[in-house]
Amino acid sequence: MTRKLTLADYPLAETRSAEVKGTRGKSLDDISLDAVLTGDVAMEDLRITPKALADQAEISRAANRPTLALNFERAAELVNVPQDFIMSSYELLRPGRAKTKQQILNVAQIFRNQHNSPAIAAFFEEAAEIYERRGLYTHRF
């Protein structure tokens, strides 16, 4: 699939149900009740993939929703990031959690280097700058 997706390709589950696949490669057609009952399909197969999010981002752009597309692209970078790291990173972005700019920049580095998440990393770096200018690195009770 090299051509860019357009609005006509939407919904992907209807236009290309065989190509839309879960994390372990099962297509929508494979995910049936019987497959769940035999154990062939598990929770893992019911997760979105970076590919699906990238596809949805293309469709959003085609619909003139660039900011939504960027969110899907950030999301694509988070799909394989462990839940606990996502939650601790979220916690760090909340006001007063990081005491220094460097703490946020460190997390940005982890996203960039360990999780291959450059857009998320840039987003954290941007936050780190703004938080510094707005004096958020203060103790909150």
Residue ranges binding other proteins (CB under 8 A):
7, 10-14, 20-22, 28, 31, 33, 36-37, 41-43, 45-49, 52-53, 55-56, 59-60, 63-72, 74-79, 81, 83, 86-87, 89-90, 93-95, 120, 123-124, 126-127, 130-131, 133-134, 136
Tokens of 104: 């946020």
CB of 93 to other proteins, least distance (A): 4
| 27: β partners | 21
Interatomic CA distance for residues 104 and 20, integer angstroms: 35
Please answer whether residues 123 and 131 qualify as being in contact, where contact means their C-beta atoms are separated by less than 8 angstroms: no
CB of 79 to other proteins, least distance (A): 5
Interatomic CA distance for residues 112 and 77, integer angstroms: 10
CB of 110 to other proteins, least distance (A): 14
